[in-house]
Amino acid sequence: MAINIKRPNGTEDVLPKDVHKWYTVEKIARDTAESFGFNEIRIPTFENTDLFLRSVGETTDVVQKEMYTVMAKETKFTLRPEGTAGTIRAMLQNGLLNEAMPQRVFYILSCFRHERPQAGRLREFHQFGLEMAGSASPCADAEVILLAKTILDRLGLKNIELYINSIGCPECRAKYHEALRAYFEQSKDELCETCQSRLVKNPMRILDCKSPVCGKIAESAPLILDYLCEECSEHFEKLKGYLTNFGIDYKINPKIVRGLDYYTKTVFEFVTTEIGAQGTVCGGGRYDGLIEQLGGQHVPALGFAMGIERLLITMEKQNAEFMTPKTCDIYFAPMGEAALSKAMLLAKELRDYGYRAEYDMIGRGIKAQMKYANKIEASFTMVLGDNELSEGLAKLKEMETGEEFEIKLDDKFVDNFDSIYIDKMLNSLDDAADALMTEPHGKEN
Ligand code: ATP
Ligand code: MG
């Protein structure tokens, strides 16, 4: 029988030629979060299944259909389907919530959901997310939304709409649930099986059902915004004011309920229409009850998560700029054993200095070596043979211009290479500046 060692459906490989795109997103997200006072947290890939049942909610799609759960030596574990539950668990377990508030953490991690794989919907995907605990004020909601928007802007994304909604607190929710039950009761028999049971346990979840029939019925369902209590209403109004103050455009979408049960009050999504149906690049909101639900004190909190794959698809679609991948600074082409030993040492010295240095490790002829140096886009090459070794002098060739520099193979080698390298950098900066000066204005429009 043939063995299947192919990548599982709904997973992806990131190849070396593309990894700089991931670095770009990760660096911009990290730097932005840090500038807002957030620090990174790292948590386990799997948790006790109960954690997700408790937090994400038993009637959600994630828990009912999408979790990867294993029974290992009598304990049930689940691969994390999202980052909030594990992060809050870690904050509680490590006493972070007893320290100075607000506590702010961010994470970059993989998530696992058994969904039908399609563009922008994977079974293993990656999130950049963050959580802020300790503030009940709507200014914290505005801060977190500004942070998400700043990241999207710095990534160069365009045409992203921000949708906000409030799904109230347990108090408004109770009245809303009654109204929803009364509404859906009329078409009970047409609802999918899952939603029929949701009707009793958690009717708001019907609004998030992906079945077209349930979606159609939900179209004219009562809206949560009509059921908000005074406090939730005021919170929402204040948030809108703060967003306006930041100059952030938003639309109110009273239909957003989010796919996870722990949300209260503010929920929001950043959506693009440019990458097909899976256009939500960021989703988040407030979850004032979650920490208590997981055994902590009552600590109001909020956060968001961005789907990194969806960000990348959008960036590529919009021709956004990525950080340039690092290429080889210098490639040594040795001929003979003595030259190889020298090349090995020179490369080692340069690397200690921070340069990317390589040499032939395959024993190729000089022509094949130079072809390889071109292929890896080496900035400089240096041929080393018996002559160079005996004279202690070699030629450093700048590949782009063909210009050659004589350089001594003595203990000043690294310093000399460094100054030639810096000259080259300055020259190419000058060229870039000249090119900018001569370009017609308004080119980018
Ligand atoms: P959707 O409605 O698209 O299923 P969701 O409400 O399930 O999203 P969240 O749990 O809020 O998503 O996750 C936050 C973000 O993670 C989403 O906005 C999206 O960008 C990304 N995401 C969620 N599920 C997937 C997936 N299966 N594949 C790729 N990215 C995903
Ligand atoms: Mg989903």
Q: How far is the CA of 294 from the centre of ligand 2 (A)?
A: 22
Backbone angles phi, psi at 298, to 5 degrees: -80, 105
Helix 193-201 to helix 170-185 angle, to the nearest 10 degrees?
140
One domain, residues 335 and 303: no
Which residue among 111, 161, 274 has the greatest number of ligand 1 atoms within 8 angstroms of its CB, and so is best to mutate? Answer: 111
DSSP one-letter string for 89-142: HHHHHTTGGGSSSSEEEEEEEEEE-----BTTB-SEEEEEEEEEES--SHHHHH
**What CA–CA distance (Å, rounded) separates 47 from 43?**
9
**What CA–CA distance (Å, rounded) separates 33 from 40?**
9
Domain for residue 435, yes or no?
A: no
Nearest CA to 311 among 8, 32, 9?
A: 32
One domain, residues 393 and 255: no
Amino acid 212 reads P
**Ligand 1 lined by 64 (C-beta under 6 Å):** no
3-state SS track over 162-183? EEEEECCCHHHHHHHHHHHHHH
422: three-class secondary structure by DSSP: helix
Nearest CA to 83 among 134, 42, 33, 48?
A: 42
Nearest CA to 310 among 167, 181, 136, 155?
A: 155
One domain, residues 309 and 342: no
Domain for residue 190, yes or no?
A: no
One domain, residues 91 and 142: yes
Instruction: Determine the atom of ligand 1 nearest the C-alpha atom of 259.
Output: 6
One domain, residues 81 and 163: yes
pTM score: 0.92
One domain, residues 69 and 102: yes
One domain, residues 304 and 341: no
Q: How far is the CA of 49 from the centre of ligand 2 (A)?
A: 18
Count of structural domains within the chain: 2
One domain, residues 296 and 423: no
Residues whose CB is less than 8 angstroms from the CB of residue 46 and which lie 6 or more positions away in sequence, other chains included: 77, 78, 79, 80
Domain of residue 26, CATH code: 3.30.930.10
Q: Count of alpha carbons within 13 Å of 327, Cβ hemisphere only?
A: 14
Last residue of a domain, one of 317, 347, 373: 317
Last residue of a domain, one of 271, 295, 317: 317
**What CA–CA distance (Å, rounded) separates 112 from 67?**
7
Backbone angles phi, psi at 332, to 5 degrees: -90, 130
**Ligand 1 lined by 310 (C-beta under 6 Å):** yes
Please give the DSSP secondary-structure letter assigned to residue 189. G
| Cβ atoms 259, 169 nearer than 8 A | no
Report residue 67 as tokens.
């979790």
Residue bearing the CA closest to ligand 1, atom 7: 259
Angle of CA points 115, 257, 279, to nearest 5°:
50
Confidence at residue 297, expressed as pLDDT on a 0 to 100 scale: 96
Looking at all shown ligands, the one closest to residue 269's CA atom is 1
Domain for residue 192, yes or no?
A: no
| Cβ atoms 184, 217 nearer than 8 A | yes
| Domain boundaries, position 254 | 19-169+229-317
**What CA–CA distance (Å, rounded) separates 188 from 92?**
41
One domain, residues 81 and 134: yes
Domain for residue 191, yes or no?
A: no
**Ligand 1 lined by 416 (C-beta under 6 Å):** no
- Tokens 């979060």, residue located: 33
**Ligand 1 lined by 138 (C-beta under 6 Å):** no
One domain, residues 286 and 393: no
Residues whose CB is less than 8 angstroms from the CB of residue 340 and which lie 6 or more positions away in sequence, other chains included: 334, 359, 360
Residue bearing the CA closest to ligand 1, atom 25: 121
Domain for residue 369, yes or no?
A: yes
* CA 342 from centroid of its chain's CA atoms: 43
Residue bearing the CA closest to ligand 1, atom 5: 259
Which residue among 125, 165, 208, 256 has the greatest number of ligand 1 atoms within 8 angstroms of its CB, and so is best to mutate? Answer: 125
* CA 220 from centroid of its chain's CA atoms: 35
One domain, residues 265 and 350: no
One domain, residues 128 and 240: yes
Domain for residue 442, yes or no?
A: no
Q: Which residues pair with 426 in a beta bridge?
A: none
Last residue of a domain, one of 263, 286, 317: 317
Residues whose CB is less than 8 angstroms from the CB of residue 264 and which lie 6 or more positions away in sequence, other chains included: 167, 168, 169, 170, 285, 286, 287, 288, 289
Instruction: Determine the atom of ligand 1 nearest the C-alpha atom of 82.
Output: 10
Domain for residue 202, yes or no?
A: no
Domain of residue 351, CATH code: 3.40.50.800
**What CA–CA distance (Å, rounded) separates 254 from 266?**
11
Confidence at residue 439, expressed as pLDDT on a 0 to 100 scale: 62
Domain for residue 287, yes or no?
A: yes
Angle of CA points 84, 88, 93, to nearest 5°:
150
| Cβ atoms 175, 160 nearer than 8 A | no
Report residue 311 as tokens.
């960000």
Per-residue pLDDT in tens (0 to 9) along the chain, 445 residues = 788 999 999 999 999 999 999 999 999 999 999 999 999 999 999 999 999 999 999 888 899 999 999 999 999 999 999 999 999 999 999 999 999 999 999 999 999 999 999 999 999 999 999 999 999 999 999 999 999 999 999 999 999 999 999 999 999 989 999 999 999 999 999 999 999 999 988 899 899 888 899 999 999 999 999 999 999 999 999 999 999 999 999 999 998 988 778 889 999 999 999 988 889 999 999 999 999 999 999 999 999 999 999 999 999 999 999 999 989 999 999 999 999 999 999 999 999 999 999 999 999 999 999 999 999 999 999 999 999 999 999 999 999 999 999 999 999 999 999 999 999 889 888 888 888 777 655 444 3
